[in-house]
Structure 1
Amino acid sequence: MSEPIKRAAEIAETSQPKKVHLDDRLDQKGYAPIKAEFIVENTLQDYDDEAAETGDRVKDDRSNRSKKGRGQNKKRDLKQRREELRLCSAVLNPAAMRECPFGEKCTNTHDIDLYLSKKPADIAGTCPVYDAIGYCPAGLKCRWLGSHYDPATKEVLKLEEKIELAKKNDYELNKINPESRVKLQKNKYDFVKANPYVKYLDTLVQSEANIAKRQEDVKNNVSTYVEPPFTPAEKKRIDLKGAKIVSPLTTVGNLPYRRLMKTLGADVTYSEMALALPILQGAKPEWALPKAHSSEYPGFGVQIASNHHQQATKAAEALANETTLVSELNLNCGCPIDLLYRQGQGSALLDQPSKMVRILNGMNACSGDIPVTVKIRTGTKDHKNTAVSLVSRVLEETHVAAITLHGRSRQQRYTREADWDYVAEVGKVVQDWNIKKQDNKDLQDTPPTWFVGNGDCFTYEQWHSAVNTEGIDSVMVARGALIKPWIFEEVEAEQYLDKSATERLEHMRQFANYAVDHWGSDEYGIENARRFMCEFISFTHRYIPVGILERLPPKLNERPPKWKGRNELETLLGSTDYKDWIKITEMFLGPASPNFQFTPKHKSNSYN
């Protein structure tokens, strides 16, 4: 038995819940039917289903529910603290030291012996980064230093063969040139395509009081646009027919998670939603979002949100220029969060089709050979679906490569199930448009517009049912891929997989290794990895093993009573207590430092 599994058993034994005998089984709507012998307490667990879509960068200002232990922990402080004694990067490798650019003004220590004496004890095992790419960029700061450091020669070791192999197969894409980011920050970036095209789009917004003058303005501005935009036929081709697609997910849809999903069968992944304005301001955190692992391309999309064609058009040009390998740019017209909605972004564009069309056309004109796609909802209000008319207009007036429809309105949020009948209705509109294009000589050579459904997909049966529906090319999976990361393995096998606790723990190990590879193996990087791993577990703990359910299929919106697993490890992986989530991370990332802090997004996870 491996050390992580032994550790898991020890942890679980100390907090094993006692079984409560029930006189009556819970029999109500929304109840997950767990076999009686696995039920511990008849209290239904509460979840926050908006966490995947909102994350922490965009705050929803709805008031907390008054009941203790429910609602969101709004003011989470998730910034990890730095080490008290920090080593200067100039001396990370004693055998290859360089001169410190800050000289005597440097605020970090250059005393290697002092730093090593104060440094926490090494984590047992081999450094995941050194094991993956043949060297560790963290050098002496690595928490697994003993696995790649020779104290006698004071040399940080390297494996040249692995380094060369990693350069070919294992690297991160889409890192912006530092000089370009500075130009954005100083408002000196040259938008060769966007500037003239934005001027053209501005004329479309002007009053139609003087139609003749407006037409003359349009004609003049079109003539100033010397280089015509790419036609749809010249764009990169994307093929979403039957593709296994992971939805853009804020916070939890980070690079290590997407990399894990690629190993588990995903074909298409998306960046976390980036806001167009910070992109144009050269904000470092925003430009970190388009980064992708080499395994994600082709099939990697960057999602942006914007409320104006000027921002979206320029952001599209900047992303096309500064990212090396992107398969599509996706405009978010579905985010329901109040802050974005009030700013005219996300789902606010559903009620402003003219603005949406201008934004999509501007992005398409300035994104080079990168195709543009859009994600929408059924509408902004319940029982007032507008997607049919909206999609018809988008198809007629733009050249989007794909449309994704979340089968809920903005007002609905995550209440009630997604309306797949309406999704199919909209899919028929797209299908008819693709057929109509074949009769148009100017559009015959253009690729079809793909249509993707989204909402509540949690089983292989739901996925295949949707894909086999006329007009629907594929399904975008969100929460289903967070709670059950192997969902695409089930789609491929066309059966339920009763993953053992050991297999599920292995997925956690993979995520931890990818997280350290991405954020670094020093103290700060590890605690960052730990924080995002806890965010991931805040979804994976919701998985109810197939073997303890009374009936199939499981439903995404069903809530379980408190339950225990078939063994101690399974019980631990299903724990709702965030302190247990931290214990799981410690199996792979070592003990959490005294500086580590994590507050779960949902208050119910803060209590035993």
Structure 2
Amino acid sequence: MTIAEKRPLDETEGAGTVDKKQNAAPYVKGMAAIKPEYLAPVAARESPVVEDYNDDEAEGGDREQQEEPKNGRRGPKGKKNRGQNKNRDLRQKKDTVKLCVSMIDPDDSETGCVAGGAEHCKFSHDLQEFLNAKSEDIDGVCPVFEALGYCPTGMKCRWLKSHFNRETNKLVKDLEKLAIAKKENFEVNKIDRDSKIALQRKKFSFDISAPVIEYLESKIQKDDDPHRETRKENEAAFVEQPYKIAEKKKIDLRGAKIVSPLTTVGNLPYRRLMKSLGADVTYSEMALSKPLMEGHQPEWALPKAHISEYPGFGVQIASSRHWAAAKASEALYKTCPYISELNLNCGCPIDLLFKQGQGSALLDQPPRLVRIVKAMNASSGDIPVTIKIRTGVKENKNTAVNLVERVLSETQVAAITLHGRSRQQRYTKEADWEYIGQVGKVVQAWNDKRDEDKDGRDTNPIWFVGNGDVYSHVDWYNGTNTEGVDSVMVARGALIKPWIFEEVEAQQYLDKSSSERLAMLEKFAKFAIEHWGSDEYGVGNARRFMCEFLSFTHRYIPVGILERLPPKLNERPPKWIGRNDLETLLASSDYKDWIKITEMFLGKANDEFRFVPKHKSSAYENDRDEK
């Protein structure tokens, strides 16, 4: 049953000067209905350039690689070239004068020059030279110092004057705040140096996964036999597995407010923001199992989390081989103690992973998927394993029911999440919640059977989560009230409207003001600086990821200017004018305006700052304006 609205929406001041009758736009399917007084003048709405969204980036992000059309702006068969901008140069500026680490905090006697002094060091020991070449300090208080009472970036901090005593030439430290921060505000799941080196040198002890891999490889031929149900010799050849699956941590997803695994934008600062806005469960960006087991630093940055995310933090991995998944699971279990679940990605639609047999490619290879889940379960210690799938690979050919039945009968998963679209469909049509309900009933029947079994009553239930097009509390409650669905996972809805779980809690639409939305962006900026650092490089990274975040948040249309509710994720708005200048700015699709917004919190962007939006249409519009 859909939750009814608790109160009428408050009326807010209009744009004031627009004639409603002359400016009213006719209803167009797929177009958001904006109140006439907020529509831009007709001439502006007739611009030939229409913003287009490529939402595959939410799941594929920087790993996505598509072929570029060879001729002009149109690809094969006359299709518009509206994908992502490839080969984006996102390198950020580094310090002109590179300061030796021993000089970052000259008062820290524990940090010495590894080269043995200025005479042998390739980095500068001349503090005044560094300060003279350093960019002008940003006004305000350093977000890291404000949060921790000490800024580890020290002399390299872009807010240096807020925590540097020029009379004593010493950094300021609030030891009392620092002691509290060490208990309450810190990041976890940082792999230790020795373990990372052991992985890189192939000396890490995979004592848990070794027998698991050996056993599963001995069973591959039997498992892949299409007549495995009728072959009696399989029973005669049965060999008991030489390992035991550890007792798993319990997770409870009934009614949980869940943020989907997201690539690029689903970084630690964003997830931390979502936790502060009511999320119960968050997931890391998708990590690839093979680079994990090989100790690649960029991949091991992904399982890092803020302490506020645990419990309720899941690490998502992608794999096409059971041995790689087993080793990655064991490495994560041994080095990252703050993980609530390991989630196997069986739904990522991007071509690169699909061709490698990862992501949604597993939907058409049930034996391989089952092997990978078994390998992860047996190698992950007490960390439970969950999976995220799609309805199938091809449109109008749903396979999730059969796949889920096989997973339930042959493996031990703690939860199954179903995105109500096929890989082929991507985001072109609305999610199929009717089919999500059908799969939910399969899981529900399995749980009911477990409850009837005396031996099964003590085991944990298998949670079933629906995913797709959840953009309001109405969508969320419609999903959770679907029979067999325990909760709903939110992806793009949480990117465009980060306060969505506040609406779920309030059971009504929240017409957030532009100043309230700006305050959320400020909080993200502070979290980003805490995570990436307050030096030149860290500020550049924070600005880049804030722009990535704004590439979604600018799509939000305030409920106070909509003619009808509920809002829909796939509806595109005509050009509109906000209730004040800030609201109009926050709705801009021009990435140069996104950079302006970042400058409110991160100081003026330097001339070398690089950011190119992923959406080709956005880039085309702005490039055209510059000609």
Q: Structure 1 residue aligned with 2:137, among 114, 118, 122?
A: 122
Does structure 1 residue 519 correspond to structure 2 residue 525? no
RMSD value over aligned CA atoms?
2.1
Pairing partner for 2:212 from 188, 197, 200:
197
Q: 1:66-465 to 2 correspondence within 5 Å?
A: 66=74, 70-97=82-109, 98-103=111-116, 104-206=119-221, 219=239, 222=241, 225=242, 227-230=243-246, 234-465=247-478
Q: Structure 2 CA distance, aligned partners of 1:519 and 1:283?
A: 18
| Alpha-carbon separation, structure 1, partners of 2:488 and 2:215 | 36
2:255 maps to amino acid: G
Deviations 1:488-518 (A, max 9, x none): 0000000000000000000000000000000
- Counterpart CA distance in 1 for 2:535 and 2:98 is 11
**Deviations for 1:209-257, whole angstroms, at most 9, x for unmatched residues?**
998997787628x3xx3x5221xxx210000000000000000000000
> 3-state SS of the aligned residue for 2:417?
strand
Residues 470 and 542 (structure 1 numbering): CA distance in 2 closer, same or farther, change over 3 Å? same
Q: Tell me the CA shift for residue 105 of structure 1.
A: 4.5
* Equivalent position amino acid for 2:189 in 1: N
Q: 1:189 to 1:214 in 2, by over 3 A?
A: farther
How much does 1:157 deviate? Answer: 1.1
Residue aligned with 1:438, SS: helix
Q: Aligned to 1:114, what secondary structure does the other structure show?
A: helix
Identity %: 61
Residues 68, 333 of structure 1: CA spacing in aligned structure 2 closer, same or farther, 3 A cutoff? closer
* 8 Å CA contact retained: 1:376, 1:404: yes
Structure 2's unaligned 5+ residue stretches are 1-14, 623-627
**1:39 partnered with 2:61:** no
Alpha-carbon distance, 1:42 to partner: 2.5
What's the secondary structure of 1:304's corresponding residue?
strand
Decide whether the 8 Å contact of 1:203 with 1:214 is kept in 2. no
Deviations 1:100-131 (A, max 9, x none): 11244433211001111111111111000001
- Which residue matches 1:9? none
Task: Report SS of the residue matched to 2:524.
Answer: helix
Q: Distance in 1 between matches of 2:548 and 2:238?
A: 50
For the residue of structure 2 that corresponds to 1:259, the secondary structure is helix
Question: 2:361–2:393: 8 Å Cα contact kept in structure 1?
Answer: yes
Q: Quick one: distance in 2 between partners of 1:217 and 1:183?
A: 38
Aligned residues: 585
* Ranges in structure 1 where 5+ consecutive residues have no aligned partner: 1-15
**Aligned AA for 1:441?**
K
Equivalent pair of 1:377/1:407 in contact (CA under 8 Å): yes
- How do 1:475-486 residues align onto structure 2 when only pairs under 5 Å count? 475-486=488-499
**Conserved 8 A contact 2:51-2:618:** no
SS in 2 for 1:116: helix
Q: Deviations over 1:245-270 (max 9, x none)?
A: 00000000000000000010000000
Residue type matched to 1:535 in 2?
E
Q: Distance in 1 between matches of 2:27 and 2:216?
A: 57
SS in 2 for 1:75: coil
SS of the residue 2:611 aligns to: coil
Cα deviations across residues 387-411 of structure 1 (Å, max 9, x unaligned)? 0010011011111000000000000
Instruction: Tell me, in whole angstroms, the C-alpha distance in 1 between the residues paired with 2:142 and 2:163.
Output: 8
* Counterpart in the other structure of 2:25: 25
Amino acid at match of 2:86: K
Q: TM-score, normalised by structure 2?
A: 0.90
Cα distance between partner residues in 1 of 2:23 and 2:382: 64
CA distance in 2, matches of 1:556, 1:362: 37
Q: Distance in 2 between matches of 1:303 and 1:463?
A: 23
SS at the partner of 1:181?
Answer: helix
Please state if 1:534 is matched with 2:547: yes
Q: Report deviation, 1:69.
A: 8.1
The TM-score, its normalising length taken from structure 1, stands at 0.93
Q: Which stretch of structure 1 is more off in the superposition, 413-422 or 65-74?
A: 65-74
Secondary structure at the residue paired with 1:55?
helix
- Residues in 2 aligned to 1:96 and 1:249: alpha-carbon distance in whole angstroms: 39
Partners in 1 of 2:445 and 2:122 — Cα distance?
Answer: 65
Match for 1:153: what amino acid?
T
- Map 1:8-19 → 2, pairs under 5 A: none
- Asked if 2 retains the 8 angstrom alpha-carbon contact of 1:200 and 1:218, the reply is no
- Distance in 2 (CA, whole Å) between partners of 1:174 and 1:102 is 30
Partner Cα distance (1:123, 1:190) in 2? 47
CA distance in 1, matches of 2:154, 2:416: 46
Partner SS, residue 239 of structure 2: helix
The secondary structure found in structure 1 opposite 2:465 is: strand
Q: 1:3 corresponds to which residue? A: none
Q: 1:48 aligns with which of 47, 50, 54?
A: 54
Amino acid at match of 2:330: E
